[in-house]
Amino acid sequence: MKNLLIFILIFTFSINIKAQKVKDIKMKTENDSLSYAFGISIADNLSKQKIKNLNPQAIGRAFQDFYKNEAKINADDANKMIQDYFENQEAQKHKEIIDIGNKFLSENAKKEGVKVLESGLQYKILTEGTGAIPTSTDKVKVHYEGTLIDGTKFDSSYDRGNPTEFGVTQVIKGWTEALQLMKEGSIWELYIPYDLAYGSRQAGQEIKPFSTLIFKVELISIVK
């Protein structure tokens, strides 16, 4: 639905209508009626999204400014603002999960052997390897086990008895960052904040939106 809303906004902007004051609009032509229909569609979608307190005059002014090439923000920034709004709304719905994750990370950071990076990623070295360190363009072979902070296991290559291979940048941000610090043969435990994991997305049945995750990662080798 969020993507649909953004699509409708962008598509509406692409229609060649004349910039004029909102109060002066009269549906004299088919194009006027079509333009009005798009306005109703946008309003209907905003209503279904339960977005309150929007200023209709500001929306009308945005249309006018856009077609006069006087827009105060560009389309990319506007879309980013809309996306941030929806993410913040989702975050409020999952505040309890976020608070529990933040509390865990705050307490975990004080534990012996745990290191905290500027991004918020935390890790503990279980075994220090001696091999090469992967780069962003490398492919790696790893064993891993993923759990929630309550200990619930949601995935494990160890249980399957089969390591997996993937590109360093083809995984969640927390993994990408950690892998470029690990030496071949290393085993690390990663403590990954939600914004470096799956963010506002649900991943499978176990990983709820905004979940903080724990991974045991064994970097077996860089795949040549």
Q: What is the pLDDT of residues 40-51, one digit of tens each?
A: 887 787 777 777
> Under a CB-based contact definition with an 8 Å cutoff, are residues 125 and 188 in contact?
yes
Residue in 104, 194, 198, 210 annotated catalytic: 198
Q: Where is 215: in which H helix or E strand?
A: strand 213-223
Catalytic: which of 25, 59, 100, 172?
Answer: 172
Domains of the chain: 2-93 (no CATH), 95-223 (3.10.50.40)
The pLDDT of residue 127 is 97
For residues 154 and 74, which has the higher predicted lDDT (pLDDT)? 154
Residue 172 bears catalytic tag: yes
Q: Which residue among 144, 191, 194, 210 is the active-site one?
A: 144
Question: Who has greater pLDDT, 15 or 124?
Answer: 124
pLDDT mean across residues, the chain: 86
C-alpha to C-alpha distance for 157 and 170, rounded to whole angstroms: 17
Q: Under 8 Å CB-to-CB from 22, ≥6 apart: which residues?
A: 56, 57, 60, 64
**How do strand 114-116 and strand 122-127 relate by DSSP bridges?**
antiparallel
Strand, helix or coil at 169? coil
For 151-185, the pLDDT digits (tens) are 999 999 999 999 999 999 999 999 999 999 999 99
pLDDT computed for residue 24 by the predictor: 59
pTM score: 0.72
154 as an active site residue: the answer is yes
Q: Which of 154, 166, 195, 222 is catalytic?
A: 154
Does 20 score more than 50 pLDDT? no
> Angle 30-48/2-14 helices, nearest 10 degrees?
160
pLDDT at 10 over 70: no
- The span from the first CA to the last CA of the chain, in angstroms, equals 42
Pairing of strands 213-223, 187-192: antiparallel
Query: pLDDT category, 188, cuts 50, 70, 90?
Result: very high
Residues with Cβ within 8 Å of residue 82, at least 6 apart in sequence: 2, 5, 6, 9
Whether 144 sits among the annotated catalytic residues: the reply is yes
Q: Which two structure tokens, joined as six digits, stand for 40?
A: 């109703």
215 is annotated as an active-site residue: yes
